[in-house]
Structure 1
């Protein structure tokens, strides 16, 4: 017998979020949806399919080019350089949701991320990260951690190898902060 809560959640998710697998919903697997179920349009075209990184920790960061925290791109690149060989994946998600600080398109975002800060980790196309129009990943994250949603640019979700949120860091916590590095190392060490 299917638990009534799972059935109701599945029905609501099917209405609200059509990108979830209908088969998984029908089988009552709503509670098992992980970050690996999502994808982002890539800044350079194509898609960033998180399923391609299944079993690897992910750091998903909403970014902006004209923010006081924009220098964190450099710190994110340093984190990527230090930990990508061990399995960490960083995904930058440009967003204009906070202070209109990502007003440009792909060309301007590329200039800031790649040319000014040397970013080589995957960058998504500009996306909405808060509210009812938020990208499905951000809706999922907000449901999982409703008190730890992005409140500004450079909010960081660390996804563990199991595909669930392992830790959350607000914009004020720089990528090179000991707390971030410790959490990443712990996520990488998990089996």
Structure 2
């Protein structure tokens, strides 16, 4: 009878929807990864072409599929040229680090024969850090994982020695974004 409300209710209330085997078993598409990272850290790019460079480097340029079938999915997103960029994307952007690995398409600067190694962004980490403010060191890792990772995990993000740093919440979030589990949805 084409009642979508009933279909959606059936799907979302079915036990198989919440089975562990159905959680965190799909690799995020590059655009999904970029959008999640940008929203998580309140990012705004200084250069309008920077997102396009990142999309090319990750292998998925919006509105420019390789053919009429669209983009491949799953493990096709992970290869030698994208793996390290995916794992270190947030840290590269937040800490304004150099891209020390080769990308398929270099980011052309305004002058010929020069490439840009850093992507400048404006970030606002206050909202994400405020969410976890007041969280004890012992429960921070668990709360971060349950909020930012698909599925359930028991990963150690920080050492006890690191808990005394002023920005340990920020460091824990960045460490979490560099985990393979963050690549899954």
Q: TM-score, normalised by structure 1?
A: 0.31
Q: TM-score under structure 2 normalisation?
A: 0.32
Larger CA Rg, structure 1 vs 2: 2
Comparing both structures, which one devotes a greater share of its residues to strand? Answer: 1
Of structures 1 and 2, the one with the larger relative CO (CA 8 A, separation 6+) is: 2
